[in-house]
Amino acid sequence: MDSSVKGIAEVLDTKDAKDIVILDIAEVSNLTSYFVIATANSEPHMEALRDAVLEFLEKNNLSVIYYDRGRGYDWMVVDGGHFIVHLFSEKGREFYSLEDLWLNAKRYSLEDILKR
């Protein structure tokens, strides 16, 4: 697994994101290599998670192609090219059910990630 993706998961964990999952979609899509998916407990929490990811990327000289800058979303993304971070509200994660769209991808839980 890519060390930057693992680092993002660790940052999200330290900021109390819930249900952190990494999907390795490299073999099932040419969109990107990894999805990092996490749930926030409120709108300010989602913004704090996004900002923590952006800070991690900047500190590690990693590029950002795009990130959501608005407010009031149930789903925010940070696109780093070879990975995309998806931050959801609980309602948004249930509604969009992103993991169910990528059933053929390798799936790693936070516990799996921290063992690596």
**pLDDT tens digits for 50-86?**
999 999 999 999 999 999 998 888 999 999 999 999 9
CATH code assigned at 96: 3.30.460.10
Three-class SS state of 18? strand
Predicted confidence band of residue 31 (pLDDT cuts 50, 70, 90):
confident
Q: What is the mean pLDDT of the chain?
A: 94
Domain containing residue 69? 3-115
Structure tokens at 72: 């009031």
Q: Is the pLDDT of residue 116 over 70?
A: no
Residue 82: its pLDDT value, please?
Answer: 94
Domain count, the chain: 1
3-state helix, strand, coil in the chain (%, to 5): 40, 25, 35
The whole-number pLDDT of residue 30 equals: 86
